[in-house]
Amino acid sequence: MTARVRGRFAPSPSGPLHAGSLVAALGSLLDARQQGGEWWVRIEDLDPPRSVPGAADAILRTLDAFGLHWDGPVLYQSHRLDRYQAALEQLRDRGLAYPCSCTRREIACGARPGCGGPVYPGYCRTGVRDPHRPSAIRLRTDHRLISFEDAVQGRHDQRLARDVGDFVIYRADGLFAYQLAVVIDDAEQGITQVVRGSDLLDSTPRQIYLQRVLGLATPRYAHLPVALDAHGHKLSKQNGAPALDPRHPGPALWAALCFLGQQPPRELARATPVTLLDWAQRHWRLERVPARAQRPWDGTRQGESTPVD
Ligand code: GLU
């Protein structure tokens, strides 16, 4: 049975939780709970070379230690390959997807720049160029406008054929692409609100397009500001963002609430996670979330951000 409102947090287990992922976890939880909805967790472990052994369990333990308790079973993408395969076959049978043998270098030579990378020039659209190479599978795109109203970032438009080109839904190394898996899982889990980092904003039109061709519902989207380090780089496992300390959840939760523009009262600066989360659930206002980070994330000042009296 599908709840009226259901949000989700979908970490990739490429390392422990850090402040950047805490912002996405907390924002998605508060947005769902404040509307009386559920909050589910999905482990996006589709890419074995990037998955760190033990990271998924460590992420779940840290969420628990931070008081971020999920509903429903945790879904692991690695257990769902047959679902992705069925969707891929359906798209191929309908002539909407085709194999592509192009290498990154071949594409880069002939491609225009688009949103977030070269626009695929369509070399394999009418037949795979080199049948002896391992093929990816691409989805055919068109020039129709895909437009959606993001609850934090405002209106966002793309024409996929112009801005992205036919995009990969199955990789030449034999892995299902994130874009395909996320759409199938959000639909099957009955997700009504997708709240995540704004680094994924440009992926959303591809996901909406896939929802349309697969006949799936489109959730509401809210893309949160991305936490940056002092050099303006996204806090990420790759950039060496420190792991959250499960023994001291309060200061990081406080800092994440300040980052999300929620202005927790000063007297809660040293409160327990239960008290902080209780306050946050009752006072969460999505319209207060800024579109972009107001200042770099300074882990050393956690708990000292300017509180409102
Ligand atoms: N697995 C992605 C990540 O960890 C998030 C995907 C999503 O929220 O759609 O960055």
Same domain, 98 and 56: no
Please check whether residues 135 and 61 belong to one and the same domain. no
- Taking the centre of ligand 1 as the mean of its atom positions, its distance from the CA of residue 230, in whole angstroms, is 23
- Please state the φ and ψ torsions of residue 35, each to the nearest 5 degrees: -95, 15
Give pLDDT tens digits for 130-167.
999 999 999 999 999 999 999 999 999 999 999 999 99
Q: Nearest Cα to 262, choosing from 276, 251, 244?
A: 276
In this structure, the answer to whether residues 251 and 226 fall within a common structural domain is: yes
Q: Do 191 and 53 share a structural domain?
A: yes
Considering the domain architecture, whether residues 91 and 158 belong to the same structural domain is answered as yes
- Compute, in angstroms, the gap from residue 91 CA to the centroid of ligand 1: 23
Tell me what the pLDDT averaged over the chain comes to.
Answer: 93
Expressed in angstroms and rounded, the spacing between residue 10 Cα and the centre of ligand 1 is 5
State which ligand 1 atom lies nearest to the alpha carbon of 14: 4
Instruction: Identify the CATH number of the domain in which residue 237 sits.
Output: 3.40.50.620
Region class of 263: left (phi > 0), else alpha (psi between -120 and 50), else beta: left
Distance CA 303, CA 179 (A): 36
Q: How far is the CA of 1 from the centre of ligand 1 (A)?
A: 25
CA of 298 to the centre of ligand 1 (A): 23
**Domain encompassing residue 178:** 81-184
Q: Is residue 232 part of a domain?
A: yes
pLDDT at 306: 41
| Cα gap 32→81, rounded to integer Å | 28
Q: Are residues 71 and 192 in the same domain?
A: yes
Number of domains in the chain: 2
Q: Is there a contact between 200 and 227 (Cβ–Cβ < 8 Å)? A: no
Whether the full predicted model's pTM is greater than 0.85, yes or no, is yes
Residue 61 and residue 85 in one domain:
no
Ligand 1 atom closest to 186 (CA): 9
Q: Check whether residue 293 and residue 191 sit in a common domain.
A: yes
Domain-located, residue 212: no
Rounded (5°) CA angle 31-250-296: 75
Q: pLDDT band for position 308 (50/70/90)?
A: very low
Residue 209 lies in a domain: no
Collapsing DSSP to helix, strand or coil, 142 comes out as coil
Ligand 1 probe mutation, 196, 204, 208, 221, most atoms within 8 A of CB: 196
Work out which ligand 1 atom sits closest to the CA atom of 199: 10
Other CB atoms within a 10 A radius of the CB of residue 3 amount to 17
Same domain for 297 and 165 = no
